[in-house]
Chain A
Amino acid sequence: NAGVTQTPKFQVLKTGQSMTLQCAQDMNHEYMSWYRQDPGMGLRLIHYSVGAGITDQGEVPNGYNVSRSTTEDFPLRLLSAAPSQTSVYFCASSRRTGFTEAFFGQGTRLTVV
């Protein structure tokens, strides 16, 4: 009964380093997305995907890349980490059509020093 799984749960990076946040879902959902949560800002959409091979930008895409080679996985890449990317990152998945809710992972707390 995994749902949406994110790894790692915690990460500390130095400025300029790159890394990939992993996200996997086992519900066969077409739609997947990444959000970042910052104090007073709520959850802001970074990138999303409506299916394998299709991705698009959300509200705050700069500094992040995504790809969707399979239905199950949607990794988020930080190309050159900056202190402004210190945040809690959430991955979510949902069905693509119909009135349906999104399911969220447990989050990744990232600190860039």
Chain B
Amino acid sequence: DQQVKQNSPSLSVQEGRISILNCDYTNSMFDYFLWYKKYPAEGPTFLISISSIKDKNEDGRFTVFLNKSAKHLSLHIVPSQPGDSAVYFCAARGNNNDMRFGAGTRLTVKP
């Protein structure tokens, strides 16, 4: 029972264009959503987050949107840079502070 889903295993975009990564969840009790970035042979690193009381959060080139009625969130990266190439995980926090992760989307930004 995967409560957090990332349906696109991979995404390829041109440098300078927008990258949009999507995530869906099923548990309406999740109150906090996060995006992590992961490079090979490293642990995931925190990128940006949003609480369930907001619908948008921006941090530089990264913006996360939350649509609670659709149980959907997305990460926008603009402009995309080659250094953004990594696997991106969506995560959602439950009642006991435990985080559930999606399967990840591999983003490739081509120069």
Contacts and interface: CB of A to CB of B under 8 A. Distances in A.
Interface string B1-39: 010101001000000000000000000000010101000
Given A102-B46, A104-B45, A107-B42, A44 B101 contact: yes
B83 interface: no
Interface string B41-75: 11111100101000000000000000000000000
Contact of B42 (A44, A94, A97, A106): A106
Interface of A: 4, 31, 33, 35, 40-45, 48, 50, 56, 58-59, 90, 92, 94, 96-97, 99, 101-107
A97 B31 CA distance: 12
Nearest to A95: B97
A105 B44 CA distance: 8
A101 B43 contact: no
A94 B96 CA distance: 12
A99 B49 contact: yes
A99 B46 contact: no
Interface of B: 2, 4, 6, 9, 32, 34, 36, 41-46, 49, 51, 89, 91, 96-104
Given A40-B9, A104-B43, A106-B42, A99 B32 contact: yes
Given A99-B32, A99-B49, A101-B49, A43 B97 contact: no
B63 to A, nearest CB: 17
A42 B89 CA distance: 8
Among A41, A45, A99, find the residue whose CB has the most chain B CB atoms closer than 10 A: A99
B89 A104 contact: no
12 contacts: A40-B103, A42-B2, A42-B4, A43-B101, A48-B96, A48-B97, A90-B44, A92-B43, A97-B97, A101-B49, A104-B44, A106-B43
A42 to B, nearest CB: 4
Nearest to B6: A42
Given A99-B51, A101-B34, A45 B98 contact: yes
Contact of B46 (A42, A50, A101): A101
Given A101-B46, A101-B49, A104-B43, A94 B97 contact: yes
